[in-house]
Structure 1
Amino acid sequence: MPKSFIFCILVDKISQLRFFGIRAIWRIMQNLITSNLGLFIFKSQLMFTIVQQDHLKVKSELSLLNQVQEWFEQFCLQHLSQLGWSKTQLDRLNLALAEGFTNAVRHAHHALPPETTIEINVDLWIDRLEIRIWDYGKPFNPDAIAEPAPGTLQVGGYGWFLLRRLADRVVYERGADGRNCLLIVKYSVEAQ
């Protein structure tokens, strides 16, 4: 079978992937990949396709942390475990989410009413998981936070550094809509 024909089939099938679940994607891949070129094209296209996503909106209340973590845990159990993510990776992500959520409640929304919402988006790509936590607080510069010296005891100030150690990438930005976005990215084992 000519490689150009395989390429056309792959491009057509890849464009349809957003309508398939993870198992269907793997079946398509197994049926269509017959050459190294086809495998490369298929894998590179999947890197730019969101496999699953979810969204949660909650009030700014620390008492809702359990609800946030249970929602995220259900998402992980349903989708990430099928892709071979380890329990350790899932636990680290859940801790990072908890840190980001509590920081939004305690710091970003400390002067705002508890009805002010925090939105959380989870996007699962074939090679990574992205968590976005949106808040309405005043922006801050995370690079201006001094890292606590090893062995020192202080109240607070460890959260930003904990996040950076739990995730592969952490970005904090002010959006055009006046909200802040904390992006937490963790790559799958295969991508590392």
Structure 2
Amino acid sequence: MTQLVNFQIAISLFLWLLLHVIVEGNSIPEVVQQNVTVGSSSSSPWLKKIMNQKQDPRSPGCGNRPWICRQGESRPGMRCCRNRCVDVFSDVNNCGLCGIRCPFTWQCCRGLCADTNINPFNCGKCGNRCPFGVLCFYGMCGYAQVFPPLPFPRPPPRPPFPFPPKPPRPQPWPRPPFPFPPKPQPWHPPHPPTMQ
């Protein structure tokens, strides 16, 4: 029952707001305009002059005039890329040359794309160098880096010389007696036993 009552209240409020918007939108204001000059146009002479001037035939931008990017106090890396003056030393969409785009999360540092999350020469931002031997992680020098204990551990043992080691030589086979085959001995009849 209460849901039905709440629904009826919501519908009636919606219809009342809709009717209010329609009436206010169609009402004609009955305000008298003031400060209107009679016998002249409603615009000023200055505005007429500006509106009647011919448009500049040159198109805006640097597409037809690339030298305007290097005029005045401009930096040396200013180039005209896609009809805009951009600094190719720091623009991620035109890094080094027009149209060379750096990957997502990389930055353009001196005209080269660099991953500032892991690059030790541009750690976190362009030009931020980490000390020698310190790594760059998440754009911070030495973040969660484990340092070796002091004093430093011994170096690992050196491999045997020569490397790789040669296998041991096999034992030689026993040689037969010389001369091979042995010479036959001449046959002698056995001697009779001697008596003494």
**TM-score, normalised by the number of residues in structure 1:** 0.18
**TM-score, normalised by the number of residues in structure 2:** 0.17
Determine which structure has the larger helix proportion and give its number: 1
